Amino acid sequence: MTLANIELYHQETEVALLGALRSHLSSGVYVDVGAERGGMAQALLSYGYGPAHLIEPAPGNLAELRRVFGERSDVEILDIAAGASDGEATLYVATTPDGEPQPAFNSIGLPGEGDEYRWTADGTVVCRSLDSLLREQRIPGQVGLLKIDAEGTDLEVVRGMGSLQCDALMIELWLDIPGSVGRCPWTLEELVELLEPGGLRRLVFVSHQGSEVRLVDGAAEPGVGGYGNVVFMTDRVYESARTAIELVADQADRFSDALAEMAIKEKNLNIFAEEVEKQRVAIEQIEADRRRLESQLREQR
């Protein structure tokens, strides 16, 4: 299996970062809140993570998770949503304005509605806190990595962690994406306040702004229209993995710089092509004028 075969939603840099962290974590045990169709889980399993506990409430995504992972003994699929407490919640699913389903975007909180997506209620789902799942031994109390991608209710998942401990935590963060999910309903400061007592004091941010992807150490400031994933980790993991993190950052910079250079070249090529087209039209006009004058001269004779 290669990353080329997996739908990662342009999160290859995140996978590279988490892959680089794997050997620095106390274990590969992995909890994925909002597993969607399993692209991230497949990638991380190939980097040595596992066992994996995949939490996903959307029926269509659950069917795909079961198809992909089958009876793998190192993957458990939990058909629930995660939140701050136990109960029930309305599941909202996204479609394009034309009605095409968007499996990567479902939430138990109604996101903002922009030009790209429409959100509709799709029934009621069971909602559980991670702490409740831990007490029932559905998930371990200590994991290497916790990943949260809940389309707006991410902070509620963190509030429900209880005594769950992890070496690293990845969570999606944005400021405002007017075309789709709107403004993020929580702030980085609120998140930091919840995570610091558990020892997750260090952070790096994989920033996506258009086609540019950058890895920023120690800060997370997404721009309007952009998004990213913050990876929090303990002091021990950060110090141990610092060189690996720097290598991933350098790789992301080189790739983004290459894309930017290609974009400039493409723009210049388009300008050149437009100029050539203008010259062609001008030459054709001159030729048409010449033929018209010659015709007039013949008629005068």
Buried b (16+ CB within 10 A) or exposed e, 120-138: eebeebebbbbbbbbeeee
Quick check: 235 and 199 in contact, CB under 8 A?
yes
pLDDT of residue 241: 96
pLDDT of residue 254: 85
The answer for residues whose C-beta is within 8 angstroms of residue 16's C-beta and 6 or more apart is 248, 251, 252
Relative to beta strand 142-148, strand 30-33 is parallel
Quick check: 76 and 116 in contact, CB under 8 A?
no
**Which structure tokens are listed for 6?**
């997996």
Domains (range + CATH), the chain: 3-255 (3.40.50.150)
pLDDT of residue 7: 76
pLDDT of residue 5: 44
Bridge partners of 232, per DSSP, are 169, 203
Bridge partners of 32, per DSSP, are 54, 147
Q: How far is CA 108 from the centre of its chain?
A: 18
One digit per residue, the tens of pLDDT, for the chain of length 301 reads 344 445 777 899 999 999 999 999 999 999 999 999 999 999 999 999 999 999 999 999 999 999 999 889 999 999 999 999 999 999 998 888 888 888 888 889 877 666 778 888 889 999 999 999 999 999 999 999 999 999 889 999 999 999 999 999 999 999 988 877 888 999 999 999 999 999 999 999 999 988 889 999 999 999 898 999 999 999 999 999 999 999 999 988 887 666 656 656 666 767 767 776 787 777 788 788 778 877 777 777 6
